[in-house]
Amino acid sequence: MRQRNFPLIQTECRILTQTRQEVRKVTVSANEDGQRIDNFLLKQLPGVPKSHVYRLLRSGQVRVDGGRAKPERKLAKGEEVRIPPVRLAEKGEAVRPPDAVLNKLRSAVIHEDDNYLALNKPAGLSAHGGSGVLYGVIETIRAWNKYEFIELAHRLDRDTSGILLLAKNRPALLRAQRAFKNSTADKRYFALLVGRWRGEDRDVDAALVRNNLRVEIDEEDGKPSKSRFSPKARYRDTTLMEVQIFSGRTHQIRVHSLALGHPVCGDTKYGEREVNKKYREKGLKRMFLHSHFLKLPEEGEFSKLILNAPMTDELRDFLNRLGTAN
């Protein structure tokens, strides 16, 4: 089936001021065992700003088995969490993703077992809602009403297609998060870069920091990040790269490729407008970045997990229209 960019459908909803009048006492389930109290509360209180959740914790209004709890406090199965009444502005009713989106993601499933669900995420669909986006992958899958527990194990940019992994229980989620954090996961992308690449493989080891809406290299205050660029096909004025990332920073490939002088084709945030316009006129309607391979190593009761997601037809068709290098 031919994959196309998937436009987000914006849906209006009423905003109401609500007050949850009663104190709630919630027992920690097996799927919540080991979860931080702040993340637990954010899920229990949808629509409540993070800043307010942290104020509730600091003021002692949230109690775990009768005691105060710091945000980093990890919960254990069977503990009782006291959640105070909360006044908030929230959506009058949950936004249900359109049937077209629900079915699009059903057809995008590339792997499912007792622990994980993996998708070949379409470009144009966010991993999660927020900041004006009413729904993303996680909200859509929850709307299937199929899973008791389902959480994103990692993220992909809205305009990036490819492998997106979700966990179906907390131990599986923590296993995946450890692999990503400890750089034992093998994550590889296809990226079409502007310009003709000279030489062969090249590593970029440059710390990244978020500065408002952009990510920048900052060796003093940034977080360590490393990428390996390997050329796979050379065209007249572009190069198809496989990029292996050893960390998972926001916009990592996009910023590292820009630092090399070869931004990702179609990248509207870090690329050049006139250059992107040229490729758009040639048929590239999106950023050329696709997550095609993911491997999690064996760990304890979990066997090795290997996932592959073929490049979308639209990206392959575009490559076929490019002239080869001389």
Residue 68 is assigned to a structural domain of this protein: yes
Question: Mind listing the pLDDT tens digit for each residue in 198-226?
Answer: 999 999 999 999 987 899 999 989 999 99
Residue 87's pLDDT is what?
64
Task: Report the mean per-residue pLDDT for the chain.
Answer: 88
State yes or no: pLDDT of 235 exceeds 80.
Answer: yes
Chain-centre distance of CA 89, in angstroms?
26
What is the CB neighbour count within 10 angstroms for residue 52?
14
Residue 326 is assigned to a structural domain of this protein: no
Residue 48's pLDDT is what?
77
Residue 10's pLDDT is what?
37
Last residue of a domain, one of 69, 91, 113: 91
State yes or no: pLDDT of 1 exceeds 50.
Answer: no
State yes or no: pLDDT of 295 exceeds 80.
Answer: yes
Are residue 103 and residue 87 in the same domain, yes or no? Answer: no
State yes or no: pLDDT of 9 exceeds 70.
Answer: no
Report in angstroms the alpha-carbon separations of 238 from 18, 28, 31, 81, 283: 54, 52, 47, 55, 14
Query: pLDDT-based confidence at 125, cuts 50/70/90?
Result: very high
Query: What does the block give as tokens for 9?
Result: 């459908």
Are residue 67 and residue 121 in the same domain, yes or no? Answer: no
Asked if 291 contacts 187 with a C-beta cutoff of 8 angstroms, the reply is yes
Q: Is the pTM of this model over 0.85?
A: no
State yes or no: pLDDT of 109 exceeds 90.
Answer: yes
Query: pLDDT-based confidence at 325, cuts 50/70/90?
Result: low
DSSP state letter for 309 = -
Residue 96's pLDDT is what?
80
Residue 134's pLDDT is what?
80
- List 166's β-bridge partners, or say none: 117, 152
DSSP letters along 106-155, please?
A: HTTEEEE-SSEEEEEEPTT--SS-BTTB---HHHHHHTT---S--EESS-
Q: How confident is the model over 70-84, as a mean pLDDT?
A: 92
State yes or no: pLDDT of 74 exceeds 70.
Answer: yes
Are residue 122 and residue 67 in the same domain, yes or no? Answer: no
The residues annotated as belonging to the active site are 157
Query: What does the block give as tokens for 196?
Result: 């003709």
Residue 32 belongs to what domain range? 16-91
Residue 31 is assigned to a structural domain of this protein: yes
Task: Report the distance separating Cα 143 and Cα 247, nearest Å.
Answer: 31
Task: Report the distance separating Cα 276 and Cα 263, nearest Å.
Answer: 10
Are residue 71 and residue 205 in the same domain, yes or no? Answer: no
Residue 106's pLDDT is what?
96
Query: pLDDT-based confidence at 31, cuts 50/70/90?
Result: confident
Q: How confident is the model over 216-238, as a mean pLDDT?
A: 94
Count up the domains in the chain and report the number: 2
Choose among 292, 294, 222, 229: nearest CA to 258: 229
State yes or no: pLDDT of 94 exceeds 60.
Answer: no
Residue 268's pLDDT is what?
94
Question: For position 275, which CATH number holds?
Answer: 3.30.2350.10
Last residue of a domain, one of 46, 72, 91: 91
Last residue of a domain, one of 37, 70, 91: 91
Q: How confident is the model over 3-14, as a mean pLDDT?
A: 40
State yes or no: pLDDT of 258 exceeds 70.
Answer: yes
Question: Mind listing the pLDDT tens digit for each residue in 138-196?
Answer: 999 999 999 999 999 999 999 999 999 999 999 999 999 999 999 999 999 999 999 99
Are residue 202 and residue 256 in the same domain, yes or no? Answer: yes
Question: For position 71, which CATH number holds?
Answer: 3.10.290.10
Residue 7's pLDDT is what?
43
Asked if 194 contacts 237 with a C-beta cutoff of 8 angstroms, the reply is yes
Are residue 120 and residue 146 in the same domain, yes or no? Answer: yes
Least confident among 47-51, 67-71, 170-174, 281-285? 47-51
Are residue 173 and residue 276 in the same domain, yes or no? Answer: yes
Are residue 145 and residue 268 in the same domain, yes or no? Answer: yes
DSSP letters along 153-191, please?
A: SS---TT-EEEEEEESSHHHHHHHHHHHHTT-SEEEEEE
Residue 8 is assigned to a structural domain of this protein: no
